[in-house]
Chains A and B, each alone.
Chain A
Amino acid sequence: MATISAGQIMTYGEQQALNQIFLKTQGPAAGTVYLHLLTNATSGSVDNTWTLVSSGTVYGATGYSPQAFAVNAASAASPSVISNSGTITFGPFTTGTGATINWGGLGSTSTPGTASFIVAYLLTASRTPANGDSLQAAAAAFTCQV
């Protein structure tokens, strides 16, 4: 069981990418992916073979909802890099706060139980929001490269 410590494409994402560039399968139509928040520990806790976002411990405060994750086109560089194109803001959180958020999990849907787990991002700084808080990340805060 391989664990990961930084922004990394999950096995599902790696398979999707390779199958598409080798013209093995038709990829999904362009659409919206969603950033989820997870409270798993920072090390030894997120497995890159997880196929669903719900395999992690999803942040549970009321006010929280996964956010649409818009991206710029992958850069024409080597390694190519893709990142969020705009500010992402969760909340405001209203009740049930107290847990510490350590990870962002990129999923194919907004529902953790059906969201294929594409990329795991370890937050630079863990966050423990209080009631009333929002959690905001700047454009290009979440990057992923091959």
Chain B
Amino acid sequence: MTKYVYEHPDEAGVGQHHADDDLAGRDAQPPEVAASLRAALEVINPTDEQREQLEDFLGRSMHDLDLHHGTEVELEDEPDENGNKVATWTDKHGDPRRTSFDPEFWDANFTEVTS
């Protein structure tokens, strides 16, 4: 797979570019999911470290999960069934991601990395 780098003219993330408001103000988890996860954790009599790990997870915003300006991705050889480009990348938390992109948006904002 070929490597590309995402570069937005205003340094906006992929999600932020398409959003109507600031992603930093959107919680990544809805309140009911957060409550459910906290309750499930308490059942196992967690350590303080486990509680901290959960709160760190629940404290993430949609901005935290976005594909940020400057991120390197690897383009898959074939588009998906909708004709969209598909690339894999690693987010700021170290989690593997796989995202599809409109071909026009891809051509405008992704540059092949030539090392």
Residues of A within 8 A of B (CB): 60, 62-68, 86-89, 91-95, 110-113, 124-125, 127, 130-134, 136, 138
Contact of A94 among B18, B23, B33, B62 (CB under 8 A): B18
Q: How far is the CA of A11 from the CA of B81 in the complex (A)?
A: 25
Contact yes or no, A132 B18, CB < 8 A: yes
Contact of A92 among B13, B30, B102 (CB under 8 A): B13
Residues of B within 8 A of A (CB): 13-20, 23, 26, 28-30, 32-33, 36-37, 57, 60, 62, 65-67, 80-82, 84, 86, 91, 93, 95-102, 105
Chain A residues, CB < 8 A from B99: 63, 65, 91-92
Contact of A136 among B17, B18, B60 (CB under 8 A): B60
Contact yes or no, A132 B96, CB < 8 A: no
Chain B residues, CB < 8 A from A68: 96, 98
Contact yes or no, A62 B84, CB < 8 A: yes
Query: Distance in Å from the Cβ of B82 to the closest Cβ of chain A?
Result: 7
Contact yes or no, B98 A125, CB < 8 A: no
Chain B residues, CB < 8 A from A63: 14-15, 18, 99-101
